[in-house]
Every structure is written in structure tokens, then in C-alpha cells.
Amino acid sequence: MDLVRAAPAAAKLIAARVARYLPLVAAVVLFLAFALRQLHLPGFYYDEALDLAPMLDVMQGRQPELLRGIGIGRFPVMLLDYMGSLGGYLTLPFMGVFGPGYVAARAQPIFFSCVTIVLAWWLAHRWFGYGVAGLATLLLAVNPSFIWFSRQGISVTSVMTVCSIGSLLLLDAVIRRERREPRIEHRGPSATRRGLSSASRLLALSAGALIGLGLWAKLLFLRWVIVLLVIGAVMWFTRSRAARRLQSQRECLAALAPALGWTAVGALLGASPLIYYNIVGLIRDGQAWTVTLLLDSLVRPTQQFGVNNLDFFHNIQKAVDDARVFVDGSYFWYNGVPFGNVYAVPTLILSATVGGALAIIRGRGLGDQPPAQQGKRDASRLFFAVLASIATLVVLGAFTVSGLWSTHQFIMLPLPQWVVACAAVWLAEFVTGGVTRGQRVTETKRNRLVASLPPLLVCLLLALPFSRDVWVNEQHHATLARTGGTGRFSDAIYKLADWLDANAVHQPVALDWGIEKNLRVLTADRVRPIEIFGFSEQADEGFRRRAAEMLQDPNRRYIVLWERFAVYNRRKDFTEIANRMGRQVVEAFIAHERSGLPVYVVLEAR
């Protein structure tokens, strides 16, 4: 009889647990359904191959080109002064499984974005509960910026969100452990201090390692370090009076110091390749190259894109617009049409306002709470910490060591989704709680209303922004199926790679940017273009000398981008040099995009 009675209870328990994890599973499936479809589109872009080309040399036992000649043995550590080689090393297993090419290049960021989804759900459920976690994860999974930047990884390192949310999750775990087992125990007039537990040390060390790896991946991750400080400040200044009485500021800092110390050690270990690069540069060249770049960008325009970081008011306008573009997902013009979710920004602003008001109500002005209500109060404090983090990232978007782009806000994810989910769930609870209290119904009917109304209201509140995100993603896929991408983002790159490979053109000469590294990866290094264009706006004497040397070989092939898509248009200069040498330049092959426009042109000098 006991077994018979226990069976329904066990079934309910299992069903409840399945329901908790179902949104997470659905989110991963949804994300993969959008991210993996038409994986070859748009065309494989140069920047996607930036960190993979050196890995081809590593795989084949050759010496790769090292930035400023600095590496650990023959292994590169940095791609640019502000970008490390972490992404390339993380792609090595994918190239081992799938071989070099766009599949491996795009599978890596998609994989780490799946990890981000899991981490975002995990931390959200610890902070705000399973309802918010499930809803936020579903919103993240269909977010166009999350999906389409993850597919390509252009100027975005997806592993940074793993490092950001992962480090925050681990630091949260340290704090929770130390709350349960405080380092300072009050016994009579004195306080006894015990050491940080081994588990807490390991968690803090791991959190620091993720922070360090994020900094090595891209100096942009420095913004997340500032965000962590902002979160800490919000949580510090919103402590209840009871908490302040229980532990003074000095005692609280003393309790935090060991955890922060282990985090700092972990950060040094994670960022050790970046630190090594700068120490070698300082000793050998008298320049810690990353530090020099950072300091120089604060007082003069950035080297590559001429952004003046002192012009704050102009930059903050651009940063706010970049954040808008990132939130509504309207960045992806190169797919064919820049579709966007027109409801995304209004939903976020409204959610921040409504959620903030409800957070104050739930936290009762952030005052002291009985133990039963402490979880709600903590969630309210964390909500304001998330809002402060988003605002901080928008402001930090006005500062850069390179250029001002929407891509730099990728590290903001999944904070906007947390805000929207919290507001929707809390509003549903607030409204339905009032409805059920005001009705004279039986306890059973009341329980059913309480159970059914909040989910229904949440679905109604977020049906429009969620469905619009789905619509945007479908429109991108439909457009890509028709256009194949545009210009340097078109699938014409595959036609060019196939033609060069089939005709055994192993070392063509690249007369423009955007040709060499993606061809190397697509052909598994069978085609290794030689870049001679130079990075000056106009063709200089160095280009003319290099072109004349290449023209000595009558069998050479030369690749240019069609004038409309050219970055450094050298075709006219190259033709003049060839004519002076008694050679005639002719077109041997043209790779068109699907609209019929030429993109890549292979030349011969007969």
C-alpha cells in the first residue's frame, strides 16, 4: 500500500525535475537548429580564418608566422597586440575531427555558445529561480546577435562569454560556500578566524583562470573585469543592516581577501601567455606591446581605425547605437538585408523599468527581511547589479584600442535576457497573486489558478519579442538561401578556392586584403597566397617593387577583388607595372556572387 501511495509522489517529483531542465534542453536544440542550418553561408570570411592559418602550420609541423617574432618555441601566443591565439588552439580539436575548413571554424564558436547557454541557465536559476532561468535561456537561444555572431565569430570570440559567465558562476559559488561556513566565527568577545576551505580555493583559482583566459583571448575582456567590480559594489552597498551588524566592513574585507587572492593567482595563470608576450617585448624591444597599445589609445587616436577615445561625447553616441544594434540584432547587412527585432529595445527598456519597480517591492525597499524572504531580497539586489552591468558595458563601449563596433557588446550576453525574464516572471507573479487573493474559490481551484496563470501571462508578455527574434532568424536564412551573402561575405570564396585547387594554383599572389587566410583554411593549405598589396591607402614603392619581382615569373596567377568590394584596390597599379614590363594582363577566372556581381578575379600577365 505504501508503495502504491509513493508511486504518484515519485512520478510528480520526476516530472517536476524534467520540467526544470526542459527549457534548457529546448534552448540548446533551438539554438543549434538556427546555428547549424546552411552552415556554409555566408561565405567564409577572412577574419574567421585569422587565428586558424597559424594553426595549419602548427598541425603540419612548420614554423608559423609569429607576431613581432614572439612565441613559445614555434607556438604563437598572440594574433594582434590586443588579441591572443586562444581561439586558434581551441579550434585544433575541431580541425582534427572535421579537417580544416569552414565546418571546423564555425563549429568551435557554436560549441562554446552552447556552453554559454548552459552556464547562463545555471547561474540564472541560482540567482533568480528556475522560471527565470528557463525563460531567459530560451530568449538567449533565439537572439539573432547570439546566433549569427556565434556562426562566424567575426571580431567575436565566443569563448569570452564562457569565461565571463563561468567566472561569475564560480565566484558566486565561493561566496555561497563562505556564507555557509564563514571564516570569522564570533565566540564571546573575540572572533576566531579559520582558513579558506580547499574547495573554495579551487573555485576562486578556477574563476581567476577563466578571467585570465578571457583577457588573453581579447583585451576587450577587461570590460568584464570592470563589470565584476560593479557587481561587487552593488552587492556591497545594498547589504542589509542586519548583515552589516553581523559583520563589520573590516571583517567582511578580511573574509574576502583570501578568495580575491586566489582569484588573482588564477588570473595570472590564465593570462600568462599575454603576460609572457609583453615581458618579452619589454626586454627585447623596450615595449610591453599590449600595455603600450592600451595606454596610447587613451591619449591619441587608435592605430588601425583612428578612434579618438578622448572624444567621449561622440563615442558614447556611437556606443549607445552599437548597443541598440546588438540588442535588436540588425547588424548582419552582409547576409543580404539587415533584419532586426523592432520590439527588442522597447522590451528591454520596459523590462528594466518594471523589473526595477518590482524588485523594490519584492525587496521592500531593500531593507531587512525575515529569513523566509531573504531569497527574494537577494534576487532584487542581483537584478540591480545586472542593470548596472549593462549600463557599464554600454559606457565602456565608448573606449577601444581598435574600432567602435556592435560586435564588442557580445560580452553583454546573457544580461539583457535575464532582465526581460525577471520582469516578466515577477510581473506575472505580482498580477496573478492579486487576482487569486481577491477571488472566493475553493482551495483546490485557487491552487490551480496560482499554478496556471503565471506561465500563461509570461507567455503573453514575451510572445511578441520572442516570435520576432524567430522571424528575424528565419528571414536571414531565407535571404542567404537566395543571395549566398554579399561581396567579401559571399559564397564566391568557395568557387575561387575550388578553381585554384583544381588548377593546382598553389601560390597565387593576393593583390588585396581578404583573400589569403580564408583560402589557406578552405584548401587545407594546398593554396597559400602571397600577399604583396601593402597596407597603405595608395600603392607605394614597396608594392611596385614586389609586383615587379612577381612578374618575373610568367606562370604566376594574381587575385584581386572587384572594384566595388576592394579594400586596397591595386589592379590599376598592377596593370601599369605589367604593361611597362611588356606584359598584358588578362582575366583567367571570375568568381561571382549569386546576384551575378563579380567578386574575385584571377589575373594572368602574359
Residue range 52-64, pLDDT digits in tens: 999 999 999 999 9
Residue 536: pLDDT over 60: yes
Q: Rounded to 5 degrees, what are φ and ψ at 535?
A: -105, 15
Instruction: Decide which of 419 and 303 is more confident.
Output: 419
317 and 192, same structural domain?
yes
Residue 419: pLDDT over 90: yes
- Whole-number Å distance between alpha carbons of 431 and 425: 10
Residue 438: pLDDT over 60: no
pLDDT of residue 12: 67
Instruction: Decide which of 255 and 484 is more confident.
Output: 484
337 and 203, same structural domain?
yes
Cα 558–Cα 560–Cα 564 angle in degrees, nearest 5: 165
Range with the poorest average pLDDT among 251-255, 435-439, 469-473? 435-439
422: left (phi over 0), alpha (psi -120 to 50) or beta: alpha
Query: Among 450, 482, 514, where does a domain finish?
Result: 482
159 and 107, same structural domain?
yes
512 and 450, same structural domain?
no
Judged on CB neighbours under 10 Å (0-12, 13-18, 19+), 408 is buried
Residue 153: pLDDT over 80: no
Q: What percent of the chain has pLDDT over 90?
A: 77
165: left (phi over 0), alpha (psi -120 to 50) or beta: alpha
571 and 494, same structural domain?
yes
Q: What is the C-alpha R_g of the chain?
A: 28
Q: Is the peptide bond before 414 cis (omega within 30 degrees of 0)?
A: yes
Q: Are 473 and 142 in contact (CB under 8 A)?
A: yes
505 and 436, same structural domain?
no
Judged on CB neighbours under 10 Å (0-12, 13-18, 19+), 75 is middle
Residue 279: pLDDT over 60: yes
pLDDT of residue 416: 98
Q: Of the candidates 50, 69, 66, which has an alpha carbon nearest to the alpha carbon of residue 287?
A: 69
Q: Of the candidates 183, 460, 462, which has an alpha carbon nearest to the alpha carbon of residue 344?
A: 462
467 and 321, same structural domain?
yes
Residue 2: pLDDT over 60: no
- Whole-number Å distance between alpha carbons of 149 and 405: 13
Q: What is the pLDDT of residues 186-245, one digit of tens each?
A: 444 444 555 678 999 999 999 999 999 999 999 999 999 999 999 999 998 888 776 666
252 and 385, same structural domain?
yes
308 and 392, same structural domain?
yes
Residue 437: pLDDT over 50: no
Q: What is the pLDDT of residues 381-405, one digit of tens each?
A: 999 999 999 999 999 999 999 999 9
| Size (the chain), residues | 606
Q: What is the pLDDT of residues 84-142, one digit of tens each?
A: 999 999 999 999 999 999 999 999 999 999 999 999 999 999 999 999 999 999 999 99
Calculate mean pLDDT across residues 407-424.
96
pLDDT of residue 458: 80
Q: What is the pLDDT of residues 446-472, one digit of tens each?
A: 455 445 556 777 877 899 999 999 999
Residue 21: pLDDT over 70: yes
Q: Of the candidates 91, 391, 426, 419, which has an alpha carbon nearest to the alpha carbon of residue 226?
A: 391
Q: Kindly state the greatest CA–CA separation across the chain.
A: 101
Q: How confident is the model at residue 443 (pLDDT cuts 50, 70, 90)?
A: very low
Number of structural domains, the chain?
2
- Whole-number Å distance between alpha carbons of 52 and 66: 13
Quickly tell me which residue has 609541423 as its cell: 61
DSSP 8-class letter at 320: H
Residue 435: pLDDT over 90: no
364 and 427, same structural domain?
yes
Calculate mean pLDDT across residues 562-589.
96
Q: Are 75 and 58 in contact (CB under 8 A)?
A: yes
Residue 330: pLDDT over 50: yes
Q: How confident is the model at residue 367 (pLDDT cuts 50, 70, 90)?
A: very low
Q: Are 596 and 484 in contact (CB under 8 A)?
A: no
Calculate mean pLDDT across residues 435-455.
49
Q: Are 151 and 44 in contact (CB under 8 A)?
A: no
pLDDT of residue 157: 73
Instruction: Decide which of 441 and 269 is more confident.
Output: 269
Calculate mean pLDDT across residues 349-374.
76
Residue 433: pLDDT over 80: no
pLDDT of residue 8: 67
555 and 435, same structural domain?
no
Query: Among 482, 516, 546, where does a domain finish?
Result: 482
What are the residue ranges of helices labelled H in 70-129?
86-98, 102-128
Q: How confident is the model at residue 562 (pLDDT cuts 50, 70, 90)?
A: very high
Residue 304: pLDDT over 90: no
pLDDT of residue 246: 61
Q: How confident is the model at residue 10 (pLDDT cuts 50, 70, 90)?
A: low
Q: Who's near 74: CB < 8 A, 6+ residues apart? A: 58, 63, 64
518 and 456, same structural domain?
no
Domain hosting 224: range is 2-482
pLDDT of residue 182: 58
**Beta carbons within 10 angstroms of residue 206's beta carbon:** 21
- 589 DSSP β-pair partners: 602
Range with the poorest average pLDDT among 203-212, 433-442, 575-584? 433-442
Q: Of the candidates 489, 561, 471, 404, which has an alpha carbon nearest to the alpha carbon of residue 152?
A: 489
pLDDT of residue 303: 82
pLDDT of residue 429: 86
Query: Among 422, 457, 482, where does a domain finish?
Result: 482
Given the DSSP bridges, would you call strands 509-510 and 585-592 parallel, antiparallel or unpaired? unpaired
Q: How confident is the model at residue 17 (pLDDT cuts 50, 70, 90)?
A: confident
